Amino acid sequence: MSVGTIWVLAEATDGTVASITLEMLAKARELSDNVECVFGGDGALVATELGAHGASAVHATGDLAGKLPGPAIAGAIAAAISGGAAPVAILCGTTYGGRDVAGRLSVKLDASVITNIVDLTNDGGLVGTEPVFGGSQLVNTRFTSDKPGIFLVRPKSFEAAETGGGAATVAALAIPDLGPSGAARVTNSFVEQSEGPKLDEAAVVVSGGRGLGESEKFELIESLAAKLGAAPGASRAIVDAGWVPYSYQVGQTGKVVKPDVYIAAGISGATQHLVGMKGSKTIIAINKDSEAPIFGVADLGIIGDVHKVLPQLLEALNARG
């Protein structure tokens, strides 16, 4: 049975809708006969793609004119709800923008957020599934109030699917006066050009961890990734140590990846890391500690020194041309 209307927070870059948005639309369509999007930007830019993935309407704020998206979008959603809109749930992606919207909106509605969702089911109301302890257990949670349920959904939890629908109807979503809380302004945006595929979209990911010993050795990871057409990733330990930027982090508090092949080099497999990569189709691990938890999820595990195995591997791959 269909639940009521579900709202999905749409995110896009230069008119291309983010994969997490399309993934959430696919799940929302399974649960509800009416799925609509909210979007901080010009709705006309995304209406066709959102419609093709099952959204009937997109409530769009229009150009944000430098406003930081989180407070503006949350303010607009809250205003729409107090004006009579009544979605049963609002799905936001676990992204930089999605978390801002969910946090702000939660206070405006005085409603809690169910976070880190990897599945949503209808059991007399929406129930969210959250993995804990590195994904070894799953906690199912539902809301007890009749307010709209705010869910933060992990990327890669669902498969995006086109429904063949026409363009979504664009409706105006007014941003109310935000007062001091809306005072932050984006003055410039920088795109960091990275060679090769994006971490969360790559078919192959090569990640390094503390076992590399020192930051200069991350070059081994970069070289192997380049050779395999893979994206380089990192464990939290070496992000915290400042070897690589936060954007490289795979794990509970970083990116969730589900590549065809995941190579973990010098990563012990803390629960924090496992939850971000254990959905990979095939996992290869290299670690000198035979007791390392990463071997518990590896399809091929090499008990050995990354400083020996990685250079040998690179040389062998280079020899193949």
With both helix axes pointing from N to C terminus, report the angle between 306-319 and 218-228 in degrees, rounded to the nearest 10: 30
Q: Which helix (H) or strand (E) holds 311?
A: helix 306-319
Contacts of 259 (CB under 8 A, 6+ apart): 202, 203, 204, 205, 230, 231, 280, 281
- Tell me 174's DSSP state: P
The 26-55 site mask, x for binding other proteins (CB under 8 A), equals: ------------------------------
- Tell me 297's DSSP state: T
The 110-129 site mask, x for binding other proteins (CB under 8 A), equals: xxxxxxx------x---x--
Residue 168 interacting with other proteins (CB under 8 A)? no
Stretch 62-81 residues interacting with other proteins (CB under 8 A): 68, 70-71, 74
Beta-bridge partner residues of 117: 153
CA distance 281 to 96: 26
Stretch 248-267 residues interacting with other proteins (CB under 8 A): 249, 252-253, 260-261
User: For the chain, how big is the Rg over CA atoms in Å?
Assistant: 21
Stretch 147-166 residues interacting with other proteins (CB under 8 A): 147, 152
CA distance 65 to 288: 52
Residue 301 interacting with other proteins (CB under 8 A)? yes
Residue 5 interacting with other proteins (CB under 8 A)? no
In the complex with other proteins, which residue's Cβ is closer, 48 or 271? Answer: 271
Smallest distance, Å, CB 60 to other proteins? 20
In the complex with other proteins, which residue's Cβ is closer, 50 or 298? Answer: 298
Residues that contact other proteins, how many (by CB under 8 A): 99
The torsion defined by the Cα of 68, 240, 222 and 297, in degrees rounded to 10, comes to: -110
According to CB under 8 A, which one of 33, 63, 82, 142 is a site residue for other proteins? 142
According to CB under 8 A, which one of 6, 18, 31, 50 is a site residue for other proteins? 18
The 81-100 site mask, x for binding other proteins (CB under 8 A), equals: -------------xxx--xx
Contact present, 74 and 101 (Cβ < 8 Å):
yes
CA distance 11 to 217: 36
Residue 108 interacting with other proteins (CB under 8 A)? yes
> With CB under 8 A as the contact rule, which of the stretches 45-53, 57-65, 83-91, 174-182 interacts with other proteins?
174-182
Residue 307 interacting with other proteins (CB under 8 A)? no
Contact present, 51 and 168 (Cβ < 8 Å):
yes
In the complex with other proteins, which residue's Cβ is closer, 43 or 134? Answer: 134
First to last CA, the chain: 56
